[in-house]
Amino acid sequence: MAEYLLEAQHLRKAFEDKTVLQDVSLGVRRGEVVVIGPSGCGKSTLLRCLNGLESVDGGEILLEGQIISGQKKNLHLIRQRVGMVFQSYDLFPHMDVLGNLVLGPTRALKRPSKEVETEAMAALARVGLADSAHVLPRQLSGGQKQRVAIARALANNPKVMLCDEATSALDTRTTASILQLLQDINRE
C-alpha cells in the first residue's frame, strides 16, 4: 500500500513565460486534511493539475501509488476517484439541482441515469439538501449552492476531495457550516 493517497513530486507548471508552480511536492495520507497557501500562490493551478484539468510541465502526480499525471486515455477514471469543489459553483442555471448532479456521470461516463440519480440523491441527503433536488440554482442561497457543488463532487464516491476555496464569498456562519460539513465528510 502506498504511503500517500495523493502525492505530487517536483511539479512544474508555467503559462507561457510565467512559472506558476516550481518544484512543488506534497503528500496527503488517507483521512488527512491539507490547507495550503495564501491568495495568489498557485493553489487553484495546483488543484487543477492534481485533478487533470491542467497538464503539468514537469514532475509526477500519483494516486494510491500509481502515476496519473500525463494520462489522457483514462482521465475520466481518474476524475471519478478525485472529486473537485471549485471556487465558483458552476451550476447550470436552466437545470434543477438533481439535473446538475447527474449530467456529468450520465453524459460523459455513459452511466445509467437511474443509478446516477440514486447516488446523487444520497449525496444531496449527505449535504442536507435532499428536499432541494428539483429546485433551480437561482432559488438557492450561496451556501446551498456550495453544498450542491460538494454533493456533485461526492456523487462518484471519490477517494480524494480537492476544494478550491470552498468557502470564499460566503458569510461567517455559512463558512463555518461548510467547513463542518467537509470535516464530517472527511471523518466518514
Angle at 88 between CA 151 and CA 100, to 5 degrees: 40
Which H, E and C letters describe 51-77, residue by residue? Answer: CCCCCCCEEEEEECCEECCCCCCCHHH
Question: What tens digit of pLDDT does each residue of 129-154 get?
Answer: 999 999 999 999 988 998 899 899 88
pTM for the structure as a whole: 0.83
Q: Residue 163 in 3-state DSSP?
A: strand
Q: Is the pLDDT of residue 73 over 90?
A: no
Q: What percent of the chain has pLDDT over 70?
A: 99
